[in-house]
A and B are shown apart, each in its own frame.
Chain A
């Protein structure tokens, strides 16, 4: 079983919809990161969470440490939000970050 699980694996939405992407992990962590990867490979760090909730523009990220779960919400989705969204956790072990497989989001106009 992977230490970091993301769901759903693929997601298609219509422009304007509210989108939720989930991440569950099975180990103790000190931090969780949400990353966005566009076609071509470039990765952008969206959020780093250790507790609570963060908001940036149309993106909101939450984390529940007790339930070992985080969600990334996108409000008023737009085709430019189409990308792979990757969750990564810092387990404090020798491997600095452990990554989920990512979720491919496609937002249709």
Chain B
């Protein structure tokens, strides 16, 4: 099973600041990595697939990068609605696995 480790666990930032979230895989997943956003009481929302492709309707301030084992989700300038929990997920191998999440909170 591929283990995805996200860091940091919590990121405390102010609106307008840049957020950088990390996801590291226990073995190479090539570019088969996605990012999801989840707000309290809501289902997750797909943000990024294939490491760097924004999903339909996702603002350009969200960007993804990386390949192999190291990946980054960057939010260029935090909007109030971006404070949430973010998960990475791989589709390279079965079982599909998620990281444990990074909470982006208001400082």
Tell me whether A and B are bound partners: no
Which residues of B pack against A, CB within 8 Å?
Answer: none
Which residues of A pack against B, CB within 8 Å?
Answer: none
